[in-house]
Amino acid sequence: MALSFRLPTPTVGRDVPRSLVVAVEIVGALSGIAAIVMLSSNTVVLVLLGVLFISSAAMSLVLSRPSLLVNIAIITMWFDSVGVGPVRTGRVIAALTIAMVIARVMTSQWRPPKLQARAWIGPAAFFGWALLSGLWSSSSGAWMTGIAELTLGAIYAMIMLCFLEDEEQFSKAMKSWVWTGVPIAIISYYLYNMIESNQKDPAEENRIVGFTGNANAYAALLAIAVGVAFLFSRRAKTKLERFSYYGAMLLFMAALLTTGSRAGILQLVVTLMYIAVTMPGIERRQRVRTSLGGGVFVAIGMVIAAWF
């Protein structure tokens, strides 16, 4: 099944002047030329020029098609920790988003949409509480790491708020995200078995982290992927498509076990229970039965998590 990256962009998304796009392209081209000229020069300078070149090219692409930022942000969630030194994928996306919002505000009549209080007051209160927790945190380093992760999540939410156009665009982006995760799940399972077979100390912990750098974070992505694949299987128009999503679900669940994450297993069962209970078109009696069955499923998941 092909990955669809080209999304229709309505006229409201084409509000950035062509001159600004050309200027960014020129900067990117000059950066690339400078990088080629200095191939034998200072390594640090070369890396900085390379980052500038990539950033300029990405900025040019997103300025010409703002809605594309949604696809980029969603798909790169699998690769949050990929990068060189402090330059990570998630941080690059965050910087690109802030630059994009500022550029659109300064060069057009576009303004970020206004939200109702019920949409932002809860997350804002949670973020404020996290900031205040620094007053009694026993480790300032851990506190700053947590704040950085929350800020990254807030910026990803900003991407959905400012650049998501309709449900169809989000659906296509999530389909691309699901199928991008399939080969990652296969590689994870293969690596896990390879490490297990060559492991000298049986007591040594073997946890696959994917491209996130953290086993629990990778497990959270896999748990969400199972739920998303299940929803797409319900929307499938052909049997082949439906069974393809079933196969993806099995691969994600197998990869989830390789992470050794108890929290990931609990998240999986709770997510599936939530989807089963809140799915539209279900009669009240069936919803009650589903809730009870989901409760049993969650209990079994807790036992499995405790066992692992």
User: Three-state SS for 83?
Assistant: strand
pLDDT value, residue 11: 42
What distance separates the 2 farthest-apart alpha carbons in the chain?
72
User: What is the residue extent of each domain of the chain?
Assistant: 167-307
Paired tokens of 85: 């030194």
What percentage of residues in the chain have a pLDDT greater than 70? 72
User: For the segment 260-295, what is each residue's pLDDT rounded down to a tens digit?
Assistant: 888 888 888 888 878 877 777 777 777 777 777 767
What is the helix (H) or strand (E) element at residue 87, kind and residue range? Answer: strand 87-88
Residue 84: φ, ψ to 5°: -125, 120
pLDDT over 50 at 209, yes or no: yes
Paired tokens of 266: 């609990």
Quickly count: other Cβ atoms within 10 Å of residue 159's Cβ. 20
pLDDT over 70 at 62, yes or no: no
Rg of the chain on CA atoms, in Å: 22
User: Measured on CA atoms in the order 86, 89, 92, 98, is the torsion positive or negative?
Assistant: negative
What whole-number distance in Å separates Cα of residue 77 and Cα of residue 165?
20
pLDDT value, residue 5: 43
- Angstrom distances, CA of residue 204 to CA of 52, 207, 210: 42, 10, 19
DSSP label at residue 16 = S
User: For the segment 116-128, what is each residue's pLDDT rounded down to a tens digit?
Assistant: 888 788 888 988 9
The angle formed by the CA atoms of residues 254, 260 and 261, to the nearest 5 degrees, is: 100
Q: Which residues pair with 83 in a beta bridge?
A: 88
User: For the segment 133-162, what is each residue's pLDDT rounded down to a tens digit?
Assistant: 888 888 888 888 888 888 888 888 888 888
User: For the segment 80-123, what is each residue's pLDDT rounded down to a tens digit?
Assistant: 887 777 778 888 888 888 888 888 888 778 888 887 888 788 88
The b-or-e profile of 24-38 (16+ CB within 10 A means b, else e) is bbebbeebbebbeee
Taking alpha carbons only, the member of 76, 80, 25, 81 closest to residue 53 is: 25
Calculate the average pLDDT of the chain: 78
pLDDT over 50 at 9, yes or no: no
Q: Which residues contact 228 (CB under 8 A, 6 or more apart)?
A: 174, 177, 178
Taking alpha carbons only, the member of 17, 15, 46, 14 closest to residue 33 is: 46
Q: Which residue has the higher pLDDT, 68 or 237?
A: 237
pTM of this prediction exceeds 0.85? no
Residue 39 — pLDDT band, cuts 50, 70, 90?
Answer: low
